[in-house]
Amino acid sequence: MSSAATHVSVLLSEAIDALNIRPDGCYVDGTFGRGGHSRAVLERLGPKGRLVAFDRDPVAIAAGAELKDPRFLLIHAPFSEMAQSLDAAGIGQVDGILLDLGVSSPQLDEAERGMSFRFDAPLDMRMDTSRGETVAQWLARAEVGEITEVVKDYGEERFAYAVAKAIVAARAGGAVATTGQLAALVEKAVRTREPGQHPATRTFQALRIFINAELEELSVVLPQCMDRLVTGGRLVVISFHSLEDRIVKRFMRDASVPPALPRGMPVREADRPAPKLRLASKAVKAGEAEVRANPRARSAVMRVAERTEA
Protein backbone atom coordinates (compact mmCIF):
# COMPACT_ATOMS: atom_id res chain seq x y z
CA MET A 1 0.00 0.00 0.00
CA SER A 2 1.15 3.54 -0.58
CA SER A 3 1.95 6.10 2.05
CA ALA A 4 -0.73 6.63 4.62
CA ALA A 5 -1.35 10.06 3.15
CA THR A 6 -2.21 8.80 -0.33
CA HIS A 7 -3.37 5.21 0.04
CA VAL A 8 -6.97 4.43 0.86
CA SER A 9 -7.43 1.06 2.56
CA VAL A 10 -10.31 -0.93 1.09
CA LEU A 11 -13.26 -1.70 3.41
CA LEU A 12 -11.42 0.10 6.19
CA SER A 13 -14.30 0.89 8.55
CA GLU A 14 -16.03 -2.43 7.83
CA ALA A 15 -12.89 -4.40 8.66
CA ILE A 16 -12.18 -2.51 11.87
CA ASP A 17 -15.79 -2.87 13.00
CA ALA A 18 -15.69 -6.59 12.19
CA LEU A 19 -12.69 -7.09 14.47
CA ASN A 20 -14.88 -6.01 17.40
CA ILE A 21 -11.87 -4.41 19.07
CA ARG A 22 -11.47 -4.37 22.85
CA PRO A 23 -9.34 -1.45 24.13
CA ASP A 24 -7.04 -3.78 26.11
CA GLY A 25 -6.92 -6.55 23.50
CA CYS A 26 -4.08 -7.91 21.38
CA TYR A 27 -4.52 -7.88 17.59
CA VAL A 28 -2.64 -8.91 14.46
CA ASP A 29 -2.49 -7.12 11.12
CA GLY A 30 -1.06 -9.79 8.83
CA THR A 31 -0.51 -7.38 5.94
CA PHE A 32 0.80 -4.00 7.14
CA GLY A 33 1.33 -2.43 3.69
CA ARG A 34 1.41 1.27 4.47
CA GLY A 35 -0.42 0.90 7.74
CA GLY A 36 -3.95 2.04 6.96
CA HIS A 37 -5.63 -0.77 8.88
CA SER A 38 -2.95 -0.78 11.59
CA ARG A 39 -3.43 2.90 12.36
CA ALA A 40 -7.18 2.42 12.55
CA VAL A 41 -6.76 -0.47 15.01
CA LEU A 42 -4.38 1.58 17.18
CA GLU A 43 -6.93 4.40 17.33
CA ARG A 44 -9.37 2.02 19.02
CA LEU A 45 -6.88 0.46 21.40
CA GLY A 46 -6.30 1.77 24.91
CA PRO A 47 -2.92 2.17 26.66
CA LYS A 48 -2.81 -1.55 27.49
CA GLY A 49 -3.76 -2.74 24.02
CA ARG A 50 -1.28 -4.26 21.59
CA LEU A 51 -0.95 -4.65 17.83
CA VAL A 52 1.47 -6.93 15.97
CA ALA A 53 1.82 -6.41 12.22
CA PHE A 54 3.56 -8.48 9.54
CA ASP A 55 4.84 -7.67 6.07
CA ARG A 56 7.40 -9.28 3.81
CA ASP A 57 8.03 -6.15 1.73
CA PRO A 58 11.16 -4.27 2.92
CA VAL A 59 9.66 -0.99 1.68
CA ALA A 60 6.58 -1.55 3.85
CA ILE A 61 8.79 -2.36 6.83
CA ALA A 62 10.70 0.90 6.29
CA ALA A 63 7.42 2.81 6.14
CA GLY A 64 6.25 1.12 9.33
CA ALA A 65 9.36 2.28 11.16
CA GLU A 66 7.84 5.76 11.10
CA LEU A 67 4.97 4.56 13.26
CA LYS A 68 6.29 5.24 16.75
CA ASP A 69 3.92 3.63 19.23
CA PRO A 70 4.91 1.47 22.23
CA ARG A 71 1.82 -0.69 21.64
CA PHE A 72 2.96 -1.59 18.11
CA LEU A 73 5.35 -4.30 16.88
CA LEU A 74 6.17 -4.71 13.17
CA ILE A 75 7.76 -7.98 12.00
CA HIS A 76 9.52 -8.47 8.64
CA ALA A 77 8.15 -11.89 7.73
CA PRO A 78 5.44 -13.45 5.59
CA PHE A 79 2.24 -14.06 7.51
CA SER A 80 2.73 -17.80 7.01
CA GLU A 81 5.33 -17.48 9.80
CA MET A 82 2.79 -15.92 12.15
CA ALA A 83 2.74 -18.64 14.81
CA GLN A 84 6.51 -18.90 15.24
CA SER A 85 6.92 -15.12 15.13
CA LEU A 86 4.28 -14.60 17.82
CA ASP A 87 5.96 -17.27 19.94
CA ALA A 88 9.30 -15.49 19.55
CA ALA A 89 7.65 -12.25 20.67
CA GLY A 90 6.16 -13.96 23.72
CA ILE A 91 2.59 -13.63 22.48
CA GLY A 92 0.12 -16.49 22.86
CA GLN A 93 -3.54 -16.02 22.07
CA VAL A 94 -4.84 -12.89 20.35
CA ASP A 95 -8.22 -11.19 20.15
CA GLY A 96 -8.41 -10.61 16.41
CA ILE A 97 -6.53 -11.08 13.15
CA LEU A 98 -6.89 -9.10 9.92
CA LEU A 99 -5.56 -10.22 6.52
CA ASP A 100 -5.80 -7.81 3.58
CA LEU A 101 -4.67 -10.03 0.71
CA GLY A 102 -3.11 -9.48 -2.68
CA VAL A 103 -0.78 -6.86 -4.08
CA SER A 104 -0.66 -3.35 -2.65
CA SER A 105 -1.14 -0.14 -4.62
CA PRO A 106 2.48 1.06 -4.20
CA GLN A 107 3.79 -2.29 -5.43
CA LEU A 108 1.81 -1.74 -8.62
CA ASP A 109 2.67 1.95 -8.88
CA GLU A 110 6.43 1.63 -8.31
CA ALA A 111 7.90 0.74 -11.71
CA GLU A 112 11.01 -0.92 -10.29
CA ARG A 113 8.90 -3.64 -8.64
CA GLY A 114 8.06 -4.98 -12.11
CA MET A 115 4.48 -5.90 -11.26
CA SER A 116 2.71 -3.71 -13.80
CA PHE A 117 2.76 -3.55 -17.59
CA ARG A 118 2.08 0.20 -17.33
CA PHE A 119 5.84 0.73 -17.00
CA ASP A 120 8.82 -0.83 -18.78
CA ALA A 121 10.94 -2.06 -15.91
CA PRO A 122 12.90 -5.13 -14.77
CA LEU A 123 10.60 -8.14 -14.51
CA ASP A 124 10.80 -8.77 -10.76
CA MET A 125 7.35 -9.08 -9.10
CA ARG A 126 8.68 -10.25 -5.72
CA MET A 127 6.89 -8.87 -2.69
CA ASP A 128 10.06 -9.46 -0.65
CA THR A 129 12.86 -8.10 -2.81
CA SER A 130 15.46 -9.29 -0.30
CA ARG A 131 15.07 -12.95 -1.16
CA GLY A 132 13.84 -15.45 -3.72
CA GLU A 133 13.74 -15.73 -7.50
CA THR A 134 12.42 -13.01 -9.79
CA VAL A 135 9.89 -13.72 -12.53
CA ALA A 136 12.57 -13.01 -15.14
CA GLN A 137 14.85 -15.63 -13.59
CA TRP A 138 12.06 -18.20 -13.48
CA LEU A 139 10.95 -17.54 -17.06
CA ALA A 140 14.56 -17.98 -18.21
CA ARG A 141 14.51 -21.65 -17.17
CA ALA A 142 10.86 -22.75 -17.10
CA GLU A 143 9.54 -25.13 -19.75
CA VAL A 144 6.43 -24.52 -21.86
CA GLY A 145 4.37 -26.91 -19.74
CA GLU A 146 5.34 -25.20 -16.48
CA ILE A 147 4.55 -21.73 -17.78
CA THR A 148 1.26 -22.94 -19.25
CA GLU A 149 0.21 -24.44 -15.92
CA VAL A 150 1.01 -21.28 -13.96
CA VAL A 151 -0.70 -18.90 -16.37
CA LYS A 152 -3.76 -21.15 -16.65
CA ASP A 153 -4.15 -22.04 -12.97
CA TYR A 154 -3.32 -18.68 -11.37
CA GLY A 155 -4.48 -16.35 -14.13
CA GLU A 156 -7.38 -18.38 -15.55
CA GLU A 157 -6.05 -17.39 -18.98
CA ARG A 158 -7.63 -19.26 -21.90
CA PHE A 159 -4.58 -18.72 -24.08
CA ALA A 160 -2.03 -19.91 -21.51
CA TYR A 161 -0.38 -22.37 -23.90
CA ALA A 162 0.04 -19.73 -26.60
CA VAL A 163 1.52 -17.34 -24.04
CA ALA A 164 3.97 -19.98 -22.81
CA LYS A 165 5.08 -20.89 -26.33
CA ALA A 166 5.65 -17.22 -27.16
CA ILE A 167 7.80 -16.71 -24.07
CA VAL A 168 9.96 -19.77 -24.70
CA ALA A 169 10.35 -18.93 -28.39
CA ALA A 170 11.41 -15.37 -27.51
CA ARG A 171 14.20 -16.69 -25.29
CA ALA A 172 16.10 -17.74 -28.39
CA GLY A 173 16.73 -14.06 -29.05
CA GLY A 174 17.61 -13.21 -25.46
CA ALA A 175 16.07 -13.22 -22.01
CA VAL A 176 12.58 -11.92 -21.38
CA ALA A 177 13.82 -9.48 -18.79
CA THR A 178 11.41 -6.53 -18.69
CA THR A 179 7.70 -5.95 -18.18
CA GLY A 180 7.51 -4.28 -21.58
CA GLN A 181 8.94 -7.33 -23.34
CA LEU A 182 6.54 -9.68 -21.57
CA ALA A 183 3.49 -7.48 -22.17
CA ALA A 184 4.28 -7.26 -25.89
CA LEU A 185 4.67 -11.04 -26.18
CA VAL A 186 1.40 -11.70 -24.38
CA GLU A 187 -0.47 -9.08 -26.40
CA LYS A 188 0.38 -10.96 -29.59
CA ALA A 189 -0.43 -14.39 -28.12
CA VAL A 190 -3.84 -13.53 -26.62
CA ARG A 191 -6.24 -13.47 -29.55
CA THR A 192 -9.25 -11.95 -27.76
CA ARG A 193 -9.54 -9.82 -24.66
CA GLU A 194 -12.15 -8.62 -22.18
CA PRO A 195 -13.42 -5.10 -22.91
CA GLY A 196 -11.30 -2.53 -21.11
CA GLN A 197 -8.71 -5.08 -19.98
CA HIS A 198 -5.13 -5.26 -21.27
CA PRO A 199 -4.43 -8.72 -22.74
CA ALA A 200 -1.46 -9.16 -20.37
CA THR A 201 -3.53 -8.62 -17.22
CA ARG A 202 -4.16 -12.29 -16.46
CA THR A 203 -0.60 -13.38 -17.24
CA PHE A 204 0.96 -10.71 -15.02
CA GLN A 205 -1.44 -11.61 -12.22
CA ALA A 206 -0.65 -15.31 -12.56
CA LEU A 207 3.11 -14.84 -12.48
CA ARG A 208 2.90 -12.55 -9.45
CA ILE A 209 0.73 -14.98 -7.51
CA PHE A 210 3.03 -17.85 -8.41
CA ILE A 211 6.39 -16.20 -7.70
CA ASN A 212 5.16 -15.05 -4.27
CA ALA A 213 3.38 -18.35 -3.47
CA GLU A 214 0.37 -16.25 -2.45
CA LEU A 215 -2.21 -19.04 -2.40
CA GLU A 216 0.12 -21.41 -0.55
CA GLU A 217 0.91 -18.70 2.03
CA LEU A 218 -2.81 -18.16 2.59
CA SER A 219 -3.52 -21.87 3.01
CA VAL A 220 -0.74 -22.13 5.60
CA VAL A 221 -1.75 -19.11 7.69
CA LEU A 222 -5.51 -19.71 8.04
CA PRO A 223 -5.21 -22.69 10.46
CA GLN A 224 -2.64 -20.72 12.46
CA CYS A 225 -5.07 -17.83 12.75
CA MET A 226 -7.84 -20.08 14.00
CA ASP A 227 -5.59 -21.69 16.62
CA ARG A 228 -4.29 -18.32 17.89
CA LEU A 229 -7.67 -16.69 18.47
CA VAL A 230 -9.22 -16.54 21.92
CA THR A 231 -12.86 -17.56 22.29
CA GLY A 232 -14.85 -14.80 20.64
CA GLY A 233 -11.83 -13.56 18.70
CA ARG A 234 -12.44 -12.53 15.09
CA LEU A 235 -10.69 -13.52 11.87
CA VAL A 236 -11.28 -10.90 9.15
CA VAL A 237 -10.02 -11.57 5.61
CA ILE A 238 -10.28 -9.24 2.61
CA SER A 239 -9.68 -10.89 -0.77
CA PHE A 240 -9.35 -9.32 -4.20
CA HIS A 241 -9.16 -12.43 -6.35
CA SER A 242 -11.56 -15.34 -6.77
CA LEU A 243 -8.84 -17.92 -6.09
CA GLU A 244 -8.01 -16.28 -2.74
CA ASP A 245 -11.64 -15.88 -1.77
CA ARG A 246 -12.35 -19.51 -2.62
CA ILE A 247 -9.67 -20.67 -0.19
CA VAL A 248 -10.97 -18.37 2.57
CA LYS A 249 -14.61 -19.30 1.98
CA ARG A 250 -13.92 -23.04 2.07
CA PHE A 251 -11.73 -22.80 5.16
CA MET A 252 -14.29 -20.82 7.14
CA ARG A 253 -17.14 -23.00 5.93
CA ASP A 254 -15.38 -26.27 6.82
CA ALA A 255 -14.29 -24.97 10.23
CA SER A 256 -17.81 -23.77 11.04
CA VAL A 257 -19.45 -27.20 10.83
CA PRO A 258 -19.02 -29.98 13.42
CA PRO A 259 -16.19 -32.45 12.72
CA ALA A 260 -17.25 -35.55 10.82
CA LEU A 261 -17.85 -38.63 12.96
CA PRO A 262 -17.27 -42.27 11.98
CA ARG A 263 -20.21 -43.53 9.97
CA GLY A 264 -22.83 -45.31 12.04
CA MET A 265 -21.55 -44.06 15.40
CA PRO A 266 -24.54 -43.34 17.68
CA VAL A 267 -24.04 -39.83 19.09
CA ARG A 268 -26.64 -37.52 20.57
CA GLU A 269 -26.85 -34.12 18.91
CA ALA A 270 -25.93 -32.43 22.19
CA ASP A 271 -22.74 -34.52 22.39
CA ARG A 272 -21.47 -33.79 18.90
CA PRO A 273 -18.10 -31.97 18.86
CA ALA A 274 -18.58 -28.26 18.30
CA PRO A 275 -17.01 -26.50 15.30
CA LYS A 276 -14.01 -24.23 15.93
CA LEU A 277 -15.42 -21.25 14.05
CA ARG A 278 -18.77 -19.65 13.47
CA LEU A 279 -19.50 -17.39 10.55
CA ALA A 280 -19.95 -13.88 11.97
CA SER A 281 -21.52 -12.29 8.90
CA LYS A 282 -22.29 -12.74 5.24
CA ALA A 283 -19.65 -11.80 2.70
CA VAL A 284 -19.21 -8.01 2.60
CA LYS A 285 -18.44 -6.02 -0.55
CA ALA A 286 -17.58 -2.37 -1.03
CA GLY A 287 -20.47 0.00 -1.55
CA GLU A 288 -21.04 2.08 -4.66
CA ALA A 289 -19.52 5.21 -3.14
CA GLU A 290 -16.30 3.44 -2.19
CA VAL A 291 -15.98 1.81 -5.61
CA ARG A 292 -16.44 5.20 -7.31
CA ALA A 293 -13.75 6.72 -5.10
CA ASN A 294 -11.42 3.71 -5.31
CA PRO A 295 -11.97 1.36 -8.31
CA ARG A 296 -9.68 -1.26 -6.74
CA ALA A 297 -12.43 -1.89 -4.19
CA ARG A 298 -14.68 -3.32 -6.88
CA SER A 299 -13.36 -6.87 -6.52
CA ALA A 300 -12.93 -6.84 -2.73
CA VAL A 301 -14.75 -9.45 -0.64
CA MET A 302 -14.53 -9.49 3.16
CA ARG A 303 -15.33 -12.60 5.19
CA VAL A 304 -15.51 -12.76 8.98
CA ALA A 305 -15.45 -15.72 11.35
CA GLU A 306 -15.43 -15.90 15.14
CA ARG A 307 -13.60 -18.44 17.32
CA THR A 308 -15.86 -20.68 19.39
CA GLU A 309 -15.16 -22.41 22.68
CA ALA A 310 -14.32 -25.67 20.90
What angle, rounded to 10 degrees, do the helices at 214-228 and 242-255 form?
30
DSSP letter assigned to residue 111:
G
Q: 179 near 116, Cβ under 8 Å?
A: yes
pLDDT value for 132: 94
pLDDT value for 296: 85
Q: 125 near 197, Cβ under 8 Å?
A: no
Distances (CA, A) of 287 to 15, 52, 82, 236, 280: 13, 29, 31, 18, 19
**Binding site: residue ranges?**
35-37, 55, 79, 100, 107
Q: 229 near 305, Cβ under 8 Å?
A: no
SS3 156: coil
Q: 36 near 29, Cβ under 8 Å?
A: no
Q: 211 near 132, Cβ under 8 Å?
A: yes
Q: 294 near 231, Cβ under 8 Å?
A: no
Q: How far is CA 18 from the centre of its chain?
A: 18
pLDDT value for 7: 60
pLDDT value for 3: 41
- Spatial distance between the Cα atoms of 30 and 214, rounded to a whole number of angstroms: 13
pLDDT value for 271: 61
Q: Which CATH architecture has domain 129-211?
A: Orthogonal Bundle (1.10)
**Binding site for S-adenosyl-L-methionine: residue ranges?**
35-37, 55, 79, 100, 107
Q: 45 near 308, Cβ under 8 Å?
A: no
CATH class, range 12-105+216-307:
alpha beta
Q: 91 near 26, Cβ under 8 Å?
A: yes
- Beta bridge pairs of residue 28: 52, 97
Domain locations in the chain?
A: 12-105+216-307, 129-211
pLDDT value for 270: 61
DSSP 72-102: EEEEES-GGGHHHHHHHTT---EEEEEEE-S
Q: What are phi and psi of 236, to 5 degrees?
A: -120, 125
- Spatial distance between the Cα atoms of 234 and 226, rounded to a whole number of angstroms: 9
CA angle (47, 50, 55) in 5-degree steps: 140
- Containing 236, the helix (H) or strand (E) segment is strand 229-239
pLDDT value for 269: 62
Q: Which of 108, 104, 102 is nearest to 124 (CA)?
A: 108
On the 0-12 / 13-18 / 19+ scale of CB atoms within 10 A, 261 is exposed
Q: What is the pLDDT along the chain (310 residues), one digit of tens a residue?
A: 334 445 678 999 999 999 999 999 999 999 999 999 999 999 999 999 999 999 999 999 999 999 999 999 999 999 999 999 999 999 999 999 999 998 877 777 777 788 888 889 999 999 999 999 999 999 999 999 999 999 999 999 999 999 999 999 999 999 999 999 999 999 999 988 788 889 999 999 999 999 999 999 999 999 999 999 999 999 999 999 999 999 999 999 999 998 776 776 676 666 677 899 999 999 999 999 999 998 889 999 999 999 999 8
Q: Which residue intervals of the chain are DSSP H helices?
A: 12-19, 36-44, 58-64, 82-88, 105-109, 135-139, 144-155, 160-170, 179-189, 201-211, 214-228, 242-255, 288-293
